Amino acid sequence: MTGRTPSQPLKLTAGSLMLRDFEAGDTDGVLAIVGDDRVTHWLSFASRDRDEAQSMLDGILERQLDTPRCEYYLAITESASPEVVIGFVRLGLGGVKAADLGYALRPEWQGRGIARAAVSRMIEFGFGDLGLHRLTANIGPQNTASMRLVESLGFRREGTIRDHVHTNGAWRDSASFSLLEGEWQPAAE
């Protein structure tokens, strides 16, 4: 234990969704995402077992306490049942007013517009509350769903990062996308 005092947990509302800081009881929710090959096939790491999911959650909880925060790793939930983690969305701060964006949903929750709503809210939080200037998203070149998602939100493709990640026993390129502060146009509801 660090003895550090947690600040007020972050909660963001996006329509019927609530994006919230992860909590100590979220191990099953984390495992349901990062333990599923259908999800991790597209991520930068192979599927994790329960102990590894627990370690991952411990790290997330630890980094929540950093001042200033360098990471916003939020659980995607429905506001009506915030204890059920259906995905995550993350901003990892680095560089000058910049952050990397990441996200994933449990397979049974995909294809319903949830990522679009959650990522939009996180972009708004990044450019608005955090005062960021530049967001990047690095995506496996075969990940059509993810590339379509960021393109539909106004991200532009910048190029290819060669052999960017080593996962599932092989190197993988990333297609690199970015969105600048002035380019963000919140969708009209």
- Name the CA radius of gyration of the chain, rounded: 16
Q: How far is the CB of 116 from ligand COA (least distance, A)?
A: 3
Chain residues 3-32 in contact with ligand COA, contact rule CB under 6 A: none
Residue bearing tokens 């929750």: 109
Distance between CA 165 and CA 45 in Å, rounded? 8
Q: How far is the CB of 58 from ligand COA (least distance, A)?
A: 22
Q: How far is the CB of 80 from ligand COA (least distance, A)?
A: 18
For 15, 70, 94, 169, the CA distances from 100, given in Å and listed in that order, are: 24, 11, 8, 24
Choose one: 77-85, 90-98, 126-134, 141-149; the region binding ligand COA (CB under 6 A): 141-149
Contact map string, positions 110 to 129, toward ligand COA, x by CB under 6 A: xxxxxxx-------------
Of 85, 149, 175, 179, the one binding ligand COA by CB under 6 A? 149
Which lies closer to ligand COA via its Cβ, residue 43 or residue 135?
Answer: 43
Nearest partner of 71 among 80, 62, 83, judged by Cα: 62
| Spatial strand order in the sheet of 134-139 | 11-14, 17-21, 71-78, 87-93, 98-105, 134-139, 170-180, 156-167
With contacts defined by CB under 6 A, how many residues of the chain interact with ligand COA?
21
* C-beta separation of 34 from 47 below 8 A: yes
Q: How far is the CB of 121 from ligand COA (least distance, A)?
A: 12
Contact map string, positions 69 to 108, toward ligand COA, x by CB under 6 A: ----------------------------------xxx---
Nearest partner of 106 among 30, 165, 11, judged by Cα: 30
Of 10, 15, 42, 130, the one binding ligand COA by CB under 6 A? 42
Binding site for ligand COA (CB under 6 A): 39, 42-43, 103-105, 110-116, 139, 143-146, 148-149, 152
